[in-house]
Amino acid sequence: MKTITKRVLSCLVCALIVFLCWLDGANLGSKGGGEYTGTAQGFAGEIAVTVTVEGDTITDITYTADAETPTVGGVAIESLKEKIIEGQNVNIDGISGATFSSDGFLQAVGMALDSAGIVADGSNASSSASEDYEADTDIVIVGGGGAGMTAAITAAEEGKSVILIEKNDILGGNTSRASSGMNACETHYEQEQGIEDSVDSFVEDTMKSGKEINDKELVQTLAENTSDAIDWLDSEEIKLDGPLATMGGLSTNRTHRPVDEEGNIIPVGNYLVDGLSSRLDSLGIEVLTGTEVTDIIMDNGKACGVLATGSAGNSVTVNAGAVIVATGGFGGNMDRVEEYRPDLKGYISTNVTTASGDAIDFLGDVNADFVDLDQIQLHPTVIPSDGALVGEALRGDGAILVNREGVRFYNETGTRDEVSAAEVEQTGGNVWLIANQDMYDVSAVVQKLDKGGYLVKGDTLEDLAKAMEFDDAATAAFVETVNTWSGYVADGTDPDFGRTIGDVKTDLSSGPYYAVNVGPGIHHCMGGVKINTNAEVIDTEGNVIPGLYAAGEVTGGIHGANRLGGNAIADIVVFGRIAGQNASSYLK
């Protein structure tokens, strides 16, 4: 019996040793390999990864990130995956415009590698130099935001070959951050919803907001083409068919918004980027991401291509019959912002970091003229901690702004410059935006703010005041403010600040309630390169530069001293189409 027991114990010990050796090899990638998992919070949900290693080498990364926006976070994660495997390095920068998705993915991969016992610092990467690239095409487009993608699709539908170059690793630029909608007049959606509007009204609102320094011919062209732009988006299966809204400075409900399958209002930016990028794919348009244009190639005074640098430092040359520049503004480059507006030093920005104003340099090199570069807009509802944007349409739908004393202080639907200036005068320079369950239920914007941890909540106004850390006096004032506002909505008039009540969709008379802390942030550059109504770039002597076009925030003159909310999307679609059409006609 003792002999049997000793043999059994001996077998058990041997088995344990074998198991521990296997476990050691399974959990230390440097001693074998295996699959290791990690999870972290992304933009809208959990990101789960499985990292496969052989020895010290990462051979594959699979992941689940169903809650991330496919064309923003989804594309960013795929790009990061490729970079990690190629460079054998997890210590890399996230993708601008997809910060939360990037951070979540990198944290999840880091967790998996920690469990594998691997230090992925690039020391194990293979050294292979990227090859230089050269191509010929009809039209090269610089910038893959809304304007660039619209121009590319338009030119391709005209039968032209197109190469689109984007500095970032994902498409979308600042367009992906747009939240409210697209202004358009005399559209079939306005007719269907009983909205009376006109080109003249659109022009008047835009000129007034821009302090009358806008180029009126450009504004007229913008307004006259918005209805056709909506029809074109319809034809591309990008439908802004939600309930029309008003924005600060609009004289009617002109802001067209998308809705999801459940009828919830969703941010226009991601929706537009998703639809446009899908169309790029279906048309087979070549896209070069992670590629920074440095020069426009000129031949006998005509634009005929671009020089660029790839992400690996390789040279990129694209020869073309025409060039369209759609690189956006420079609001993501604080050095350049402060160069033109020293008074804006210290403000947070809503812009992606790749909105850095590179085009000011390479367009300046070909003698392009510029206008209104010092006209830089503050947006009044920006989250001070990280620059996340809270869409203006929420205020149009009925949200109000209160200061730390619990009271309203300005017309919430005033123009952005006016509301921002009023906020700066309040205690602390930031305020609270108040919404309720009625707004939460139909707004994906509010729901995403909640998922992102930006909202504080309360079943009652007193509960919300406590969550906002109001003292007793501010709490009493806040309750009175909201109750007074509810009465104003019922009466249809705002005697305090003259806000238009008719379009408000909720009176805030019932909870639960939600609040988000907001303040002014750098949002839009109204100034840029000078163009005419054909989207042709103008030089410093007032002449057209043949073969060179521009569209979107890189241009100046349309928005004057202050852009109306909803006019940026109108701008990129209208002038993106004009640039694509006229560049195609130029080649004929």
Distance of alpha carbon 372 from alpha carbon 330, whole angstroms: 13
Q: 46 — alpha (psi -120 to 50), left (phi > 0) or beta?
A: beta
Beta strands in 276-375 (DSSP E): 286-288, 292-299, 302-309, 315-325, 370-371
Q: Comparing C-alpha atoms, which of 521, 247, 248, 249 is closest to residue 378?
A: 521
- Are residues 199 and 252 in contact, defined by beta-carbon separation less than 8 angstroms? no
Q: Is 416 an annotated catalytic residue?
A: yes
| DSSP label at residue 187 | -
Residue entry with tokens 């935001």: 145
**Omega prior to 512 cis, within 30 of 0:** yes
Gap between the Cα atoms of 411 and 403, Å rounded: 13
**Which residue of the set 177, 254, 416, 577 is catalytic?**
416
451-490 core/surface letters (b: 16 or more CB in 10 A; e: else)? bbebbbebeebeebbebbebeeebbebbbebbeebeebbe
Question: Going edge to edge, which strands form the sheet with 528-530?
Answer: 370-371, 528-530, 555-556
Is the separation of the CB atoms in 283 and 156 below 8 Å?
yes
User: Rounded to whole angstroms, how far apart are CA atoms 286 and 580?
Assistant: 16
User: Are 437 and 457 in contact, with CB atoms under 8 Å apart?
Assistant: no
CA distance linking residue 256 with residue 269, whole number of Å: 12
- Cα separation, 374 vs 376, whole angstroms: 6
Instruction: List residues with catalytic annotation.
Output: 416
